[in-house]
Structure 1
Amino acid sequence: MAAGKKMCVKEKTPEGPPSPPGYRALPIKFSREQASSHFLYVREHRVRGGARSRWPPERTLFVLNVPPYCLEGCLARLFSVCGPVQSVHLHEKPEAGQPPQEPPSAQFCPKPEPGFQVAYVVFRTSAAVPKATALRGPLVISAQSHPVKTGIEKWAADYADSLVDPEALRQEVDKFMADYDKKMAAEDAKAEAEEGVPDEEGWVKVTRRGRQPGLPRAEAASLRLLEKEKRKKARKELLNFYAWQHRETQREHLARLRKKFEEDKQRIALLRAQRKFRPY
């Protein structure tokens, strides 16, 4: 190396873990003994101008990459150091402004497969959101005061939660049948009100109860009903009820066939006679 030249060595600056633009990486550990950390990506929940959101503005923290073992209670405990937590909501993917539809049954609602989710942490005050985005970890999920169930304990708890409570099931079935009876009663009342009243073209709606007597009927509808009854009555008439009537009908049919056969023979013979060649 030539004398008089100095080398410039750049010092490496410590950098945090990579994160999506606009998010801050927050390390968490399942327990204190765990060597590696899992990263949550947090930022203040914002929506575009004019868009609606069911989450309160300036009080909601949006969290990405939430592991399956980190439930609502765990997130509420982790972020409670920043301020009182009002609610925590976990979803498979970011939700739109409309609230999700409630399942038709609380007893037979299929649970989603566990996986990484997103979370909306709603604080009671807006001052807690900047503190949450400035947190430095790692935070511990499972502690002695708040242990997280794993292994056989978790499987047993999941199995116990999957069992249907008979009393709750009975109440849900009773409520469903009561709502169904009200719906059917409303439909019956509507059908009774519309029954027997002709529309603009004169058609009358007839249900399984039949037409109520004494109701007015349009003239066109009456004529159509009479024609329909006549056709129905004509179809019900029995032809050739007796055996001798059936035999007479067959004889007449055979006689017509023989007569037609003789006429055809005569016509063919006449045509053949007209086709003969006669030069003289």
Structure 2
Amino acid sequence: MVPMPASKTSVTLTVNDFTVLPLHYPPLPSYPQASTHYLYLRANAPKVPTEDTPRELFLVNVPVDATEIHLRSLFADYLGGGRVESVAFEGTKRIGKGITAPVVSAKSRGKKRKRGAENEDVETEQEVGKLPEVWDRELHSSGGTAVVTFVDKPSAELALKEARRATKSGRQIVWGAGVESKVAPLGSARYSMHHAMRYPDPAALQQSVDDFMTAFSAQEAARAKELSRVRSVPDADGFVTVTRGARTTTAAREEDVEKKEEAVRKREKKKVGEDFYRFQVREKRKEEQLGLVRGFEEDQRRVEEMRRRRGKVRPE
């Protein structure tokens, strides 16, 4: 962020493939001077494109206080009104890490299921058991990046075109205008809220732990069922691996399955030629040797017969 120039000067429109977009910061009590932050935009071009790549914009030098609400407001109010579908910030950390399992979370308990398979999958396959968060707003590192996904490709192209037009015309874009009441405040209020959120309600914390353990138990049961099914499937020779003792732990079951898979891989490596095992190859070689011996004996009999009929055989 640099101080805003007193007079209008020529502004660089592009840097490499990026469009330069100046963002105006009004004076604040903590910094009573107007300033300008430069945001860089271009069409997203990852090494491995996806079906969403044509409707994505890649942003560099994202403001540290940027939120999804800020970027939605930026494109809706200043850059063509394109509808933003989602925003992915670089290095965004999920503070409350949970577990994904086909278990209804506490928030969805008591709600009626919506009809349709898609809605049912969305409701049942979700992250549950997340610990309460201790920050009400995420901040980013300086010079961070983000990928903005629009609802369609024309919206992304229009937003990039409007950014070039706004930079060329010198139109002032005020960062965060109109969203002050929609995002959590910064400064001392942020840390006061952080201090309060560090001590969550015991009931909410216990509910989060219970949801996590319920989901974890469901995952373990599903995994044990799948391992049991795999262990009961005969291998290529028609044998089923039987283990001694009641090994009920997950690690033991996974070890058994790994050993069985390793044995199958070893047997497959022993295959030679047209899917013959080694003992089959040995039998085939014996048969070939016996065939050669029989052929040699047959040739000897033919030579003796020729000698009896024509006399001594002379070499050519």
Q: What TM-score do you get using the length of structure 2 for normalisation?
A: 0.45
Q: What TM-score do you get using the length of structure 1 for normalisation?
A: 0.50
Q: Which has the larger radius of gyration?
A: 1
